[in-house]
Every structure is written in structure tokens, then in C-alpha cells.
Homo-oligomer: A and B are copies of this chain.
Amino acid sequence: MKPLEIKELYRSGDKHYNQKVKINGWIRTSRASNAFGFIELNDGTFFKNVQIVLESDKLDNFKDITKLPISSSITVEGELIPTPESKQPFEIKAENIIVEGLSSADYPLQKKRHSFEYLRTIAHLRPRSNAFSAVFRIRSMAAFAIHKFFQEKGFVYTHTPIITGSDAEGAGEMFRVSTLDILNPPKTENDKVDFSEDFFGKETNLTVSGQLEGEAYALAFQKIYTFGPTFRAENSNTARHASEFWMIEPEIAFADLKDDMQLAEDMLKYVIKYLLENAPEEMEFFNSFIDKGLIERLTNIVNSEFAHVTYTEAIELLEKSDKKFDYPVKWGIDLQTEHERYITEELFKKPVFVTDYPKEIKAFYMRLNEDGKTVAAMDCLVPGVGEIIGGSQREERLDVLEGRIEELGLHKEDYWWYLELRKFGGTKHAGFGLGFERLIMYVTGMSNIRDVIPFPRTPKSADF
């Protein structure tokens, strides 16, 4: 007899009512008297458990089974009985139970509530808890929704390199990747490290962004996206920063900032809709236990037209408001989270694209506007989080781009191939970056990035 999955029971269990079924799973909870016992069994395929009913006169090993420690794995055969008067739609009257793997009395995930901090120390076991089984199934489904969205639109998924020999990304501090003997590295004549002897024949680091390579592919395939790990060697121990995180970076050719924003809006709505439709149990759990109002907020996003405001207008609105900010507002500042949340939560009460930022606070590759002061950049702000997406139209004019590179004291040689993209049939193009973990925090209501990454890497922490 082939085991059924609990997901199958919940999604079309009535097909199996009053029939003999077989399921596998891990014991989540267990209680028993002399004659009866109940096990909540979870097999990992679904958020909910199945109740197994044990009767001493039906099971030879009744006593042994009722004594099994939490998290023991078993195989159950029995009849699937509908239970219309109960909370759960059905239960299984066990006729035969085989122990697959014993757990132990010192299993750390006992029924009592544990803090998320504690659960991080048992990252190998926490996906067996309700909260983390929901988080990591949502993470998986959101990743797939993103692939599905882009593939259905004909985007080419591009694996940009993780190890980079280029110094040109300029988006943050980097981790060095090396096989040199750190106690005794080869030296050049002037006593520097001789990286020509390193594995790749030069100094290499972990990537902070696949954008530049993504642009090369967008100028061949028109529409591409990346989805891979990126790294920041920044010593910031906050609830929103990890040293290793996944990023999605679409890039579109023959497209301007407006197309870029439309793409970002469509993508966010698609992913949220996908989760609300395909993971109702998990979303209901987050709505009840992690973030009340989550489902309403997300549903609003799916149904609203995102607002648009220029940076200059946003600054005016902030200056006019009665709100007291910790960081004073004036044209030229980088918007802080308090400003961003005020704009999206109080002024517009929905997602907002802020566009056309001062060039001084944005990257060299963003397209210079006619005014010579601002660039065609956009940040997407959402209620409850602030910035979730940042993007821009890219500077496609070779002379302007070279001018910006010089202005910022960067070296044209480092960008030879990036500049060639403008020389050999460049077109207007645009793209954005979405931090995947930020998205997961947003759609689950989880407030610490460490709790949406299976095995998080942060300063002083790389366990498991």
C-alpha cells in the first residue's frame, strides 16, 4: 500500500473517507489514557497535522506507541473517518503503527512556546515547528512564483557569477575569495600580496550584485532576470541585514523607468496573489499569530494602483507635514526609513514609487535626467516595511556614462566591457533589485531576517 500525503488528505480527503489509508509522519503531540490515545502527526507535506486515534484494543503495541517521544517518526495504517462535528475534518483510526525512527526525551522542540532567538540555535530542527514550517514553505513558493512570473513573460533566467574579479560593482564591502596561504602569502616586489598567484590569477570577491552582467544579457535577450545569492561584508547587526542573501534583478531593454516600475508592480502583485491563493493555511497562520492585519494589507496591495511621486515632490510633502522626524528633511538627503514609511503609510496609504533622486545619492550607472541634477531612479515603498525595491533606467549614452565614471573618480578600464555594451548597439534599458528576504519578511510579517533564511549568515555567526 502506497503512503498518502497529508496534503492530499486535506485537499481531496473525501475521496478516501471510510477507506484504509497509510501515512508517514513525525509526532507533533501525543496524549493518552489507558484505553485511548491521540497523536497529532505531520508529514511535512502540509501545514496542518492529522489526528491519529489510538485504541488499546485495536493496537498490539498501544502502550509503546503512546510512550513515543515527540518527533518520533512512524508509519500509520488505518481508516480515514470524516469528523464533521470536530475542528479537524477527519481523523485516522489506527489499525497498525510501525515506528520508523525513535526520537528522544531531550528533543528540544517540546510543545511549549520557544522564542525565535532560541530556535535560531537549533536551525536544523526549527523547520519542524509551526512558524518555521510556514515561513520556509512560503519562501519556497514565493521563489517559484517569481520564476513563474518571469518565465511566463519570456524572461531569460541568467546565472550571473558569484565570484567576481571585478571591482566595479561598487555597492558595498566585499568578502575576499582566496586559496592563498594566509600565513605566508606570495608577495610582489613592493611587498604587496601577489594575487597573480591566487587561484584565479587575481584578487576575487563575492558578488554584491549581478546587475552589470545582467545588463549584458538584457542587451542580447531583451528581458532577463537573475535570482541568486549576493553578499555584503558589512558589520551591521540589524534585524534587516544579513551577510548572505538572495536577490532578484530583472533587466529589460527597449524600456524606460516607467516600464520598469510597471514590471515591479506586476511582479509584486503576482507573487502576493500566488501566495494568498496557494498557501491559505500558512497565510492564515501568519495573520493570526505573527502579524494581525497581514492578509488585509496584502490584499490591498494586489488591488491597488501603486502611487507615483518624484523625490522632489516627496521632499515637499515631508517638509509640509506636521510629523516630527529624527532625521531632518531637505532636498538632497537620502530618505530614511521613517520618511519612507510616512510617505507610504500615512500620505498615500498604499505602495508608492518615489522617482528621480538627486544624482549625488545614487549610483553612477543611473540615467541622468534632462535637469542635470537628478537621475531616473525609483524606489518602491510599501506600508509596514518602507523600501522593498530599488531600480533605475540605466545610462545608455556612452559619453554621459564615461563622464559620470570620471566625475566619481572611478576607472574607465575597469568598465571596459560594460562600456562596450553602449558602443555596440546599446538601447534604453532599465532594471531593479528585489531583496528576496525583504519580500519574505513582508509577506509573512516576520520581523527578523534571521528567521526567513534557513541557515542565516551574519557578523560573527556562520553556524551549521
Contacts and interface: CB of A to CB of B under 8 A. Distances in A.
Interface of A: 3, 5, 7, 24, 26-27, 43-45, 71-73, 75, 100-104, 107, 122-125, 127-128, 133, 136-137, 139-141, 143-144, 147-148, 151, 154-166, 173, 175-180, 182-183, 185, 192-193, 199-202, 204, 206, 213, 216-223, 228-229, 231, 233, 235, 243-244, 246, 253-254, 396, 417-418, 420-428, 453-455, 457, 459-464
Most buried by B among A220, A417, A423: A220
Contacts of A459: 199-200
Contacts of A157: 139-140, 143-144
Given A100-B428, A140-B158, A143-B157, A220 B127 contact: yes
Contacts of A229: 159, 162, 228-229
A223 B200 CA distance: 37
Q: Which 3 A-B pairs have the closest CB atoms?
A: A44-B222, A165-B462, A127-B220
A199 B158 contact: no
A254 B426 contact: no
Contact of A254 (B3, B163, B180, B221): B3
Contact of A124 (B72, B148, B253, B420): B420
Contacts of A24: 222, 253-254, 427
A124 B27 CA distance: 53
Contact of A165 (B72, B200, B463): B463
A101 B429 CA distance: 11
A258 to B, nearest CB: 13
11 contacts: A24-B222, A124-B216, A124-B418, A140-B158, A163-B462, A164-B462, A175-B177, A177-B177, A182-B185, A200-B460, A200-B461
B217 A199 contact: no
Contacts of A420: 124-125
Given A159-B454, A455-B160, A464 B228 contact: no
A154 B454 contact: no
A178 to B, nearest CB: 6
Given A154-B45, A221-B127, A426 B144 contact: no
Contacts of A136: 156, 158, 217, 221
Most buried by B among A44, A100, A160: A44
Instruction: Indicate how many identical chains form the complex.
Output: 2
A45 to B, nearest CB: 5
Contacts of A104: 423-424
A247 B355 CA distance: 39
Contacts of A462: 161, 163-165, 200-202, 204
Most buried by B among A72, A100, A147, A454: A454
A42 to B, nearest CB: 9
Given A182-B180, A183-B192, A201-B460, A133 B175 contact: no
Given A73-B426, A75-B254, A163-B462, 16 more contacts: A43-B222, A44-B221, A71-B424, A73-B425, A103-B423, A122-B417, A123-B216, A124-B420, A162-B229, A163-B231, A163-B243, A175-B179, A176-B178, A177-B177, A200-B461, A201-B461
Most buried by B among A24, A75, A424: A424
Contact of A159 (B102, B160, B235, B453): B453
Contacts of A423: 103-104
Contacts of A44: 156, 218, 220-223, 253
Given A133-B221, A417-B124, A427 B192 contact: no
Contact of A426 (B101, B139, B200, B204): B101
